[in-house]
């Protein structure tokens, strides 16, 4: 029950440049081949980007990035700090990211996910994404295929 109360205290909002040290730290902690901090700087405030952060008090505990290329969108990145994983933060970020893409008039959303990332695949499947393809050797460190997933945003 304590975990649920903690997750309910998390707020989702647009990312700010002041969030980027926390975002980059989460990125380095959870991904083997992390994006650079500079990659995130270039996305803050861009019109064609939805960049959300999950905040617990004053600390960023997760983030989601959607690239808008109407009529399609791409969930380019979603991560939650190790301490907050499996508590619903990722689902809240994903739900808000999907809502934002819909509000921008996008008709579908795509993403790539490591084929071994069962937790992420379950999260995405639970929100209606379906596997539509594979990108062979897409990921480095370690080399692994990506599963391409799609969500129809018109539903």
Phi-psi region of 121 (alpha: psi -120 to 50; beta: other; left: phi over 0): alpha
Over the stretch 112-140, which tens digit does the pLDDT of each residue have? 999 999 999 999 999 999 999 999 999 98
Q: For residue 112, indicate whether it is catalytic.
A: yes
Segment 72-81 mean pLDDT: 97
Q: Which residues contact 50 (CB under 8 A, 6 or more apart)?
A: 64, 65, 66, 68, 73, 97, 100, 101, 104
User: Rounded to two decimals, what is the model's pTM?
Assistant: 0.92
Q: Where do the structural domains in the chain lie, given as residue ranges?
A: 2-152
Q: Which residue is catalytic, options 72, 108, 115, 124? A: 124
| One CATH from 2.40.50.140, 1.10.1670.10, 3.40.630.30, 2.40.50.180 for 2-152 | 3.40.630.30
pLDDT at residue number 9:
85
Q: Which residue is catalytic, options 27, 103, 108, 112? A: 112
State the virtual CA torsion across 133, 80, 23, 19 in degrees, nearest 10.
120
């Amino acid at each position: 029950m304590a975990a649920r109360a903690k997750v309910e205290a998390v707020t989702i909002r647009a990312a700010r440049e002041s969030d980027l040290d926390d975002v980059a730290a989460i990125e380095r902690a959870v991904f083997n081949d992390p994006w650079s901090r500079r990659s995130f700087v270039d996305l803050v405030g861009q019109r064609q980007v939805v960049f959300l952060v999950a905040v617990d008090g004053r600390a960023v505990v997760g983030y989601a990035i959607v690239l808008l290329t109407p009529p399609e969108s791409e969930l380019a990145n979603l991560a939650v700090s190790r301490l907050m994983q499996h508590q619903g933060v990722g689902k809240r970020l994903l739900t808000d990211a999907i809502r934002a893409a819909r509000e921008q008039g996008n008709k579908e959303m795509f993403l790539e996910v490591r084929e071994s990332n069962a937790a992420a695949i379950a999260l995405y499947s639970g929100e209606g994404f379906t596997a539509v393809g594979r990108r062979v050797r897409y990921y480095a460190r370690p080399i692994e295929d990506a599963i391409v997933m799609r969500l129809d945003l018109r539903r």
